[in-house]
Chains A and B, each alone.
Chain A
Amino acid sequence: MQDKKFMRETLKEGAEAFQSGKLSRRSFLTLCAMAGVATSAVMVGDAEAAAKQIVMWNWGGQSEECHGNAIGQPFTEQTGMPLRFDTSGPLQGKIKEMVDSGNVTADVCDADLFDAVALGPSGHLEAIDYNVVDKAKSLPQYTLEYGVSIILYGYAFVYDTEVFGDNPPTSWADFFDIAKYPGKRSLYKWANGSLEAALMADGVDKDALYPLDMERALAKIKSIKDDSLYWGSGSAAHSMVVNGEVSMGMVWQNRGRNIENDTDGRYKLVMNQALAMPGAYIVPKGNPAGRDMVMKFISIAQEPAAQLELLNCLGMTPSNPEVFADIPEDQQPYAIASALNIDKIAFSDPEWWGENSGDAVNAFLEAIS
């Protein structure tokens, strides 16, 4: 990381010296060759430009368009810096690798808040600057030292109304009750959400989930093992439901909205006992645009206009409590934080997940495989 920065500065100085005639062409080319850089890259100032944009590392899909409109536009208007995307998915291991190798190319990661707990104390993340980012504009339990929740997403389930139309399932207990509601189920493959759902199905109160009772949760998961499938991506969850592979499927709540729309209501989303997940912005240590610029960017994402635009475009629920009351009527059934749902849902605990996710995921994989 230091080496890279040093190299960039050396090259910049070299380029300036060359342009002002202090350095011969041959020496400059040698310098570039030694640094392993094409001369054209330095001449057009790419190295400098790299620091004049914000790169968001996210999961692709519609999010590029939606984040561009909701946050990118106002950010560019205020700072003149464009928003660019790396859509390869900021998994914990990749963030760790990026920071450890000193080759940090992203400024802000669209990640989970528990990633902030897992990677922050080990020195892989920049701390959030709460002089710029407003603590009051996120739920209090979701403003942590190394990450702040920008949106909420959630785990809920959809069911097939053609199968269960007369006696619709309303809770995770129904979801896990194969005798009463026959058919296959689908759950999230990496434990998150699936464990909480199992515990609620087993009678644990939605506000008393943490610390998760792993043994109890896994026993419940195993009880439907033969009748369950597991998905690792939103599109897999979606297709398992609409292809009729399952009669009930756990989905991300915004996917649930799409499934209802795509199937003209054949599949219906159940938001009771949905698990609210804090989607968060975290900043890799030593990000190219600098810490101040990213904090500015995050503060714009907290603004009500941006929050409502993300809800409208992606179905991601605002995490800024000021905006909860402004959630439009037609989004109320799908939004986690809407007046219609907020008392029925459970809140995920990023602290628990940050500290235990490694063991929890492996225990879960052991139980289902």
Chain B
Amino acid sequence: MTNVLRKYVSPGWLLVAPFLALVVLLYLGPILNILWLSVTEPQPGLQNFEKLVTSDTIARIIWTTVRICVVTTAFSVMLGYCIAYAMVHAHQKQQHLMLTLLLVSFWISILVRTFSWLMLLGRNGLVNNGLEAIGVIAEPIAFMRNELGVLIGMVHYMVPYAVLPMLVNMQTLDTRVMSASRNLGASGQQTFFRIYLPMTKPGVVAAALLVFILSLGFYVTPAVLGGGKVLMVAEYISVQLLVTLKWGTAAMLASLMLFGVLAMLYLMSKFMKLSTVFGGSTS
């Protein structure tokens, strides 16, 4: 018996087994509970999932969420790429300064950042008042309390999340490859697009995944900067739980988000080795 166990289970597994069991219990338990709720509340059946096709509201909320998340991801990764690129190529001292600035912005509470945007870009904010004072505009520009406001707030929050994985990726690149490319007669532009960019792909994908998944759960920024008119899935779930007591709908949407993310990871794994994205070796 013991021998059989030894043959199939390496001792390492026995060491982590208690913790693994704990994780399964504490993590999978609640998730299963949510899945269970989604098919049993208020009556057993698939009526909650039916709403995905029958309810225009839910379809629209999901569409809004996906649209905002995709745009946020695109902008965050583009801006983050520039920042990471600049950091890798800066001198050590400047690099430290840039990293510090990045982390400071990373650590500031989301509420503070959200309300700061209102101060800056609100109807009577610094920018609008300034532009009006010098006569560029006659009417305040509506930056905030709409979808644009939500995007500005979310991209700002997400840029550090995008920078960090790309930074790590760029730091591990072998720069001699670029030198070789230049040596063989490629222009700077060609070297960047044909050598550097493909080599940083794992970092870009990791950043995009991270930003997109985090964006899906965004709550505070859309609620404040959207002026109540930009409704995303996370806020809708919270309303169904706390205000309207439609826990079945909430559980259904939560399951949907879970499956959505898992499906995305699965699709991704079809096209590339996910371990490289998450910091494994490139081989």
Contact = CB atoms under 8 A, between A and B. Distances in A.
In which size bucket is the chain A interface? 20 to 34
B123 interface: yes
A243 B243 contact: no
Interface stretch (A11-19, A131-139, A228-236): A228-236
A358 B241 CA distance: 10
A245 interface: yes
A10 B224 CA distance: 48
A362 B244 contact: yes
Contacts of B231: 365, 369
28 contacts: A93-B241, A93-B242, A93-B243, A93-B245, A94-B242, A189-B228, A190-B239, A229-B145, A229-B227, A230-B228, A231-B228, A243-B122, A243-B123, A244-B123, A244-B124, A245-B124, A357-B243, A357-B244, A358-B245, A358-B246, A361-B239, A361-B243, A361-B244, A362-B57, A365-B57, A365-B239, A366-B60, A369-B231
Contact of B244 (A184, A231, A358): A358
A123 to B, nearest CB: 14
Interface of A: 91-94, 96, 118, 184, 189-190, 225, 229-232, 236, 243-245, 357-359, 361-362, 365-366, 368-369
Interface residues of B, number: 26
Interface string B99-131: 000000000000000000010001110000000
B35 interface: no
A369 B231 CA distance: 6
Contacts of A190: 239, 243
B245 A365 contact: no
B275 to A, nearest CB: 39
A273 B17 CA distance: 66
Decide if the interface of chain A is mainly helix, strand, loop or mixed: helix
Interface string B201-237: 0000000000000000000000110011111000010
B88 interface: no
A57 to B, nearest CB: 14
B191 interface: no
Interface of B: 56-57, 60-61, 64, 118, 122-124, 145, 223-224, 227-231, 236, 239, 241-247
Contacts of B244: 357-359, 361-362
Contact of A366 (B57, B224, B245): B57
Nearest to A187: B228
Contacts of A93: 241-243, 245, 247
Contacts of B124: 243-245
Given A243-B123, A369-B229, 4 more contacts: A93-B243, A93-B245, A184-B123, A229-B145
B52 to A, nearest CB: 15
Given A190-B243, A358-B245, A358-B246, A368 B229 contact: yes
B136 to A, nearest CB: 19
Contacts of B246: 358, 362
A215 to B, nearest CB: 16
A363 B186 CA distance: 60
A220 to B, nearest CB: 16
Contacts of B242: 91-94
Contact of A245 (B56, B61, B122, B241): B122
A92 B122 contact: no
Nearest to A361: B244
Contacts of A245: 122-124, 145
B145 A365 contact: no
Nearest to A366: B57
A91 B122 contact: no
A243 B247 CA distance: 37
A93 B251 CA distance: 13
A230 B145 CA distance: 9
Nearest to B64: A369
Nearest to B142: A184
A232 B223 contact: yes
A175 B72 CA distance: 36
Given A94-B242, A358-B245, A361-B243, A230 B123 contact: no
Contacts of B64: 369
A209 B224 CA distance: 31
B109 to A, nearest CB: 16
Contacts of B230: 369
A96 B223 contact: no
Contacts of B118: 243
A118 B239 contact: no
A91 B124 CA distance: 33
A368 B228 contact: yes
Contacts of A236: 224
A360 B244 CA distance: 9
Contacts of A189: 228
